[in-house]
Chains A and B, each alone.
Chain A
Amino acid sequence: MEHQRSYIYTPPESDERPAKRQKTDKGHPHSLRRERLQTFREIWAEQETRIQACLKTTLEEADEATQENIVRFVAAAAERDQELRASIPTGLIVAGPSIASHGPYFERLGRQVKESTNSAYLVLTSGESPNLKTLLKNLIKKATSLADDDDDDDLGRTTGPSRNGPRLLDFDLGHLQKWQRSINYRTIVVAIQDSEAFDSHVLSELIDLLHAWLDRLPFVLLFGIATSAESFEDRLSSNALRYLEGEKFDVTQSDEIIEELFSTTIASTDVALRVGPNISRRILDRQKDHVQNVQDFFDGLKYAYMSHFYANLTSIFLRDDLAVKNLPPDVFEAVRNLPSFRRWVGGMLEDGRAQDARNALQSDKYLFDQVTQNVTSGQAILNAISGAALVLTRLRQSLQISQKVPLSSIWIKAASGEMLNSPMLREMMLSVKRMSSDKFLQLLGSLQDLEQTYFPIDLDSYQSKLDVMISENDGAVLKTQHDVRNDTLRTTVVAQKVLLSKHKAALSEQDKAYSELVAQFQDELDQYFNTTFIDPKELFLIEILMYDLKSPHTEVFQPKPRFAVERALAAPHDYLGCECCSGEGTRDGEAALFSTQPATAILYQLYVESGSVINAADLWSAFNAMAGGEEEDDESKTMALFQRALAELRYLGLVKPSRKKTDHVAKMMWKGL
């Protein structure tokens, strides 16, 4: 094979196509597709506006402080005297490790800078700056094209040798000087968007050059930094550092933004379709473990919505303008096949409502009414859970419970039905029981804006009662009987032993009354949580209301290419599903070797067992023993198979000819990494 450029592969004839698994269900997977698509668009549009609004406010809020500082910094640089400029004013913008968000950030920053100061703003990225010359060309191009907006005679400006005299080379900053002379900006801001990705030598040279021109061109440098200002500094030459004079600006981290997004989308108290706790957890974990990126969060959520409407016929019930007569019968069949429908009907039978059960099974009209009703009520229940999660988060905050748990984790716990009886809730209720009047006031305050939504407790009446009590107590802090601070610890030394004994301080009248008020509040709160934190999985029609399927979400967002290749080679049966590859050995999960497996798979398994350099002859004899036939002339065929298999392994990047030892191949990849 080595001597041929190519060879013609003639596949063995006769064989029929391997039987494909065919979809057997008779339902129309595309039934009502257009309507579902429509519903998806409408419901997603709501989420999308919410996300955009949230992004706008959170990002802007987050940006605002830093961007204001940066703008002020640039403005201050503009004020400096031309002559006194010994070093380039430099802003180090630590924008965090999610480099995908740096681009938009610098765009927003540029708008701000141009709006509020009379500056030119030029962004450079590493991609367009492989060396100093190209970098300068780009810089000049960007600057002078800014001016192009209002004058179009760029013929005289650019590189072509003008007949009038010596020309400027196209990386000569003299171009900028000319341009600056005509426009006269106060400062020229050069923003290096992804500083780490720049060659540090190029950066140092750039700084040196800009510094040399500083007496003619009022430069300000901004560096976007993903890691830390210190490690960036360490990369610059000390000469370059001498030319810079900097200030550091920290940009809000994107995990805070993700948390904010989570609470306005997934944990919102007003959404038609819920994304379930499992997917939510996956989306969040991915953010925490691998990427920090708003766009990924957005994509994950959107994909979940799409999957729901694409694969689930019953999702059509999320529309609110439905009529029975427009719905094909298989929609109702689909509903009747839902596990939660079965539970529901089972419940009816247990209650002795046989007629209702019959109706549900037989009458589409009856079922339609029930489903539409239950979808609405189910949405309300799920919204209430989100509301309660929010209440719980606020309570924890205002009680200053030390372990900080973000809303996202609380919500996930609640949505998986694990909140009731959880230590977290218990601990919180205990703190409520013990809270003093100042905490109580704070707590009421923090819940104020929730009142109208899903929160049945009448806060105002508590507020007024509490106000009265406090004023009767001359404004002093009231305590409950459970407050530990009412217990004084008594230490007595009895026969060399330290005895600690608790002593209950006597409660004043006011404190008693206050204790009762707190107890009442706690009861109501307990009641509220007990009725709200139900397990959503038990809900009728939860399959319509909530999307929480692991597949295909994981396959799409977290594919495992290497694992897939390794598995295909080690256990070909998993993919081929054919007789020849499945042996008894595969039972216990361990892959096993069979002579009937594809040659590449056999060779791969031999490969996995060997060390980091493999003798090709040994490999061949092992392969021959495994896959070869009895007769002599089989050997050439086996050899062909062997060579092809080895070539395939090489193509996959698994082996490489070894330079260290002749007749050996080097193992490049280990299984399971």
Chain B
Amino acid sequence: MLPDEILEQLNAEFPCREFQLRQLAALYSPQLPSPSLLVAHGLTATGKSSIIKLYLSLSGLAHAVVSSRECITGRHLLERTTSSCLDALDEHYDETNDRRPYVRTENISALAVNLAKMLEGREKFVLVLDGIDRQREMPHTLLPALGRFGELIPNLSIILITTLAQNLALHKPGVPHLYFPPYPRAAVVEILSLNPPKIFLEPPSLDLYPDYTTDVAAEDDAWLWNRFLGAVWESLSKHTGRDLVSFRNTSMRIWRDFVKPVVDGTFGTRDFSRLMVNRKHLFQIDDAVLDRLITSSSTTTQTNGVISVNSSRAAVKRNTIQHSLPYYTTHLLIAAYLASYNPSRTDTTYFMKHTDKRKNKRKVRTDAGVSKSKHRRISRHLLTPSPFPLDRLLAIFRSLLEGPVPQLADLGTQIATLTSLRLLVRVGGVGTGDALDAGAKWRVGFGWEWVRGLGRGVGIEVGEYLVGGVDG
């Protein structure tokens, strides 16, 4: 393909990246010499990986891409680099290289030797190390050494893809950089407008609406989607999750809910402003910008194929069944939470059994353990939990329960089980084999919302026992 054709195709597929593409085309063409090292950098989802990969494969240059995400250690990266380069050479020259000399790549110099060996007498070869800044267990010498590879292997060009350019310790001046800036609003909208999703999952029957052809439908889809994107950006993504992928996810999450009245037939496909008023609530709650594992739409569509209006994620959350824990387990967890979040010196005030228990609650909530200064207090439940010894947990546990509880071994078993579920996290004393070593300490591994729910299940308002209350 001619360079111009390549650029044309790339620009069509990846709009708003003309500058970067032109740079790439200038730097990596089969005829002209290429820099031995290039750093391509830019925030997440700015198209670095996709654009460079696609450009190289269209350009007809021999190249290999190694993704650091797939490499567990630095050594792993080296091994994979060797084998990917061999694979790439095999494919590019349509031959089978003798791989026997490349059995091991233990360290960076072995890599240099291997690459030099396999590239000897060949044309230019481009090696892309994608996401090198996130490589696990990377040796310090790796990057500076890579910077010098060009001196040893003249026909090798390396492209390092990273998020930030500053923290790459290359120790080499004059390395060219290629910056992929974040997309502004106009760009994201333009990019996402390339593939508008459908309004009607099942096209309206042609018998009823003979003039609603697929072309008209596609036009409507594009028109509404474009406007919708603008609205999503203004109300949600502008404030958080501005990158392309987050924006796309957010938009896709509420799209079906958004067009529901159109599918129903309540509004026409071009009633954008009325639709906006009607679906205002979608843009006011932040559910859509959160990445959640269980998306409400997936559950609702799974159940009855119809998307319910009330698919706010909060509602879904409320509906989930929580498996009830055994009675004492629940109390142990509540006690653990209180032990983690109350300072131990307030225990006598909150949990002593000498008086009516109810009088203990909240009695000291304004002044207990909190300095009287005018500084704004941070509610306790927002802080990190502090560790507590086992006996304190047991003491609070007993004071929460009305009657006496026998000192059963079952209690110990439960604490061990909760520890293995990481609801209780053991800190210190880890060396000993004893799971309930009196010298060890624990912390809770769950949050306020959950413990409040637990407490309500057994008739305890946990907030009343928490020093400082929970009005924050």
* A residues apposed to B, CB below 8 Å: 90, 92, 94, 96-97, 99, 126, 132-133, 136, 161-169, 171-173, 194, 196-197, 200, 208-209, 212-213, 226-231, 233-236, 238, 241-242, 244-248, 250, 253, 255, 286-292, 558-563, 566, 653-654, 656, 668-670, 672-673
B69 CB to closest chain A CB (Å) equals 4
Q: How far is the CA of A96 from the CA of B327 in the complex (A)?
A: 14
Contact B320 A230, beta carbon cutoff 8 Å: yes
Question: Which partner residue on chain B sits nearest A286 by CB separation?
Answer: B410
Contact A173 B70, beta carbon cutoff 8 Å: yes
Contact A233 B323, beta carbon cutoff 8 Å: no
Selected from B102, B294, B413, the residue in CB contact (under 8 A) with A166 is B102
Selected from A97, A230, A558, the residue in CB contact (under 8 A) with B329 is A97
Given A172-B79, A560-B409, 6 other A-B residues pairs in contact with their CB atoms under 8 A? A166-B83, A238-B291, A247-B298, A559-B409, A560-B406, A654-B438
Contact B293 A99, beta carbon cutoff 8 Å: no
- Tell me which residues across on chain B come within 8 A of A287, comparing CB atoms: 326
Question: Do A248 and B437 form a contact, CB below 8 Å, given A171-B72, A672-B407?
Answer: no
9 A-B residue pairs with CB within 8 Å = A92-B294, A97-B323, A164-B100, A196-B420, A212-B69, A227-B446, A247-B302, A292-B326, A561-B412
Q: How far is the CA of A164 from the CA of B102 in the complex (A)?
A: 9
Contact B293 A226, beta carbon cutoff 8 Å: no
Question: Do A172 and B421 form a contact, CB below 8 Å, given A90-B293, A228-B450, A229-B294?
Answer: no
Question: Do A669 and B438 form a contact, CB below 8 Å, given A167-B103, A227-B423?
Answer: yes
Indicate the member of B82, B294, B450 with the most A CB atoms within 10 Å.
B294
Contact stretch, chosen from B4-12, B169-177, B391-399: B391-399
Can you list the 3 inter-chain pairs with the closest CB atoms, starting with the nearest?
A165-B99, A290-B410, A673-B394
- Tell me which residues across on chain A come within 8 A of B413, comparing CB atoms: 290-291
Residue-by-residue, is B283-318 near A (CB-CB < 8 Å gives 1, otherwise 0)?
A: 000000001111100110010000000000000010
Q: How far is the CA of A449 from the CA of B115 in the complex (A)?
A: 81
Question: Do A668 and B391 form a contact, CB below 8 Å, given A94-B323, A230-B317?
Answer: yes
Indicate the member of B245, B320, B326, B389 with the most A CB atoms within 10 Å.
B326
Question: Which partner residue on chain A sits nearest B394 by CB separation?
Answer: A673
- B204 contacts the other chain (CB 8 A): no
Contact B406 A233, beta carbon cutoff 8 Å: no
Contact A563 B407, beta carbon cutoff 8 Å: yes
Q: How far is the CA of A286 from the CA of B291 in the complex (A)?
A: 40
Question: Do A166 and B450 form a contact, CB below 8 Å, given A668-B438, A673-B398?
Answer: no
Residue-by-residue, is B82-119 near A (CB-CB < 8 Å gives 1, otherwise 0)?
A: 11001000000000000110111100000000000000
Contact B408 A290, beta carbon cutoff 8 Å: yes
Contact A291 B72, beta carbon cutoff 8 Å: no
Q: How far is the CA of A173 from the CA of B79 in the complex (A)?
A: 13
- Tell me which residues across on chain B come within 8 A of A560, comparing CB atoms: 406-409
Contact B421 A227, beta carbon cutoff 8 Å: yes
B324 CB to closest chain A CB (Å) equals 7
Contact B409 A162, beta carbon cutoff 8 Å: no
Q: How far is the CA of A168 from the CA of B76 in the complex (A)?
A: 9
A128 CB to closest chain B CB (Å) equals 14
Contact A562 B69, beta carbon cutoff 8 Å: no
- B201 contacts the other chain (CB 8 A): no
- B268 contacts the other chain (CB 8 A): no
Residue-by-residue, is B11-37 near A (CB-CB < 8 Å gives 1, otherwise 0)?
A: 000000000000000000000000000
Q: How far is the CA of A594 from the CA of B413 in the complex (A)?
A: 36
- Tell me which residues across on chain B come within 8 A of A94, comparing CB atoms: 321, 323
A97 CB to closest chain B CB (Å) equals 5
Q: How far is the CA of A83 from the CA of B254 in the complex (A)?
A: 23
Q: How far is the CA of A241 from the CA of B241 in the complex (A)?
A: 14
Selected from B86, B102, B320, the residue in CB contact (under 8 A) with A229 is B320
Indicate the member of A97, A229, A653 with the most B CB atoms within 10 Å.
A97
Selected from B245, B328, B422, the residue in CB contact (under 8 A) with A290 is B328
- Tell me which residues across on chain B come within 8 A of A167, comparing CB atoms: 79, 103-104
- B203 contacts the other chain (CB 8 A): no
- Tell me which residues across on chain A come within 8 A of B326, comparing CB atoms: 97, 287-292
- B226 contacts the other chain (CB 8 A): no
- B457 contacts the other chain (CB 8 A): no
Contact A233 B76, beta carbon cutoff 8 Å: no
Question: Which partner residue on chain B sits nearest A238 by CB separation?
Answer: B291
A61 CB to closest chain B CB (Å) equals 18
